[in-house]
Structure 1
Amino acid sequence: MAQTNSNANISLKQLVPTGEKISLDQLKMGQVGLIVEMNEPDQEQADRLKALGLCVGRRIELLKAGNPMILRVLGSRIGLANRLAKRITVDACHQTNCCE
């Protein structure tokens, strides 16, 4: 009898963003997401966020909840205030490798 690879049973849906759009401050610890919208009205603040690597299409991971929250962005850790995180919308994933 042929053995099956257990990874073959992972559906494509599990490996891509879920379509669940939430604000960045609602991510759970260890959860990964893709930034889909940035609602920062202050251009100077928007430029600062972009300099930190936060932009539409970017993969982020929540390492620590709190204020500030700690995110992994482009392999670096950054701190982000909750008031700023509330203005960023992410497409949440349920597996840490889903948005690679």
Structure 2
Amino acid sequence: MAWVLLGIAGLLEVGWAIGLKYTEGFTKLVPSVLTGLGIAGSMVLLSMAAKSLPIGTAYGVWVGIGAVGSGLLGIVILGEPATAARLFFLSLMVVAIVGLKFTGGAGH
């Protein structure tokens, strides 16, 4: 169950990271509220997952999901560059996330 919570926390992190672009410096009410809720929800789920997973593993996977997801959505939704180097390094982060999952502690 901790891994499911951590996965959802990571997806919420992707959502709030992308949401930051739409808050326009937290001057837009609805995107700002949704981004704030995403931040809070992501943190709560991360803390719940960290009850049974090592914090280094949980935090590393959470950050990795957020970074990879934000990078990919930045390319797809925001029109950010999809260079070969960028895609390569996002792929390396996926390898690191999978590695942490299978070597990182309880519940794997």
Give your verdict on TM over 0.5.
no
Greater C-alpha Rg: 1
**Between structures 1 and 2, the one with greater strand share:** 1
More helix by share: 2
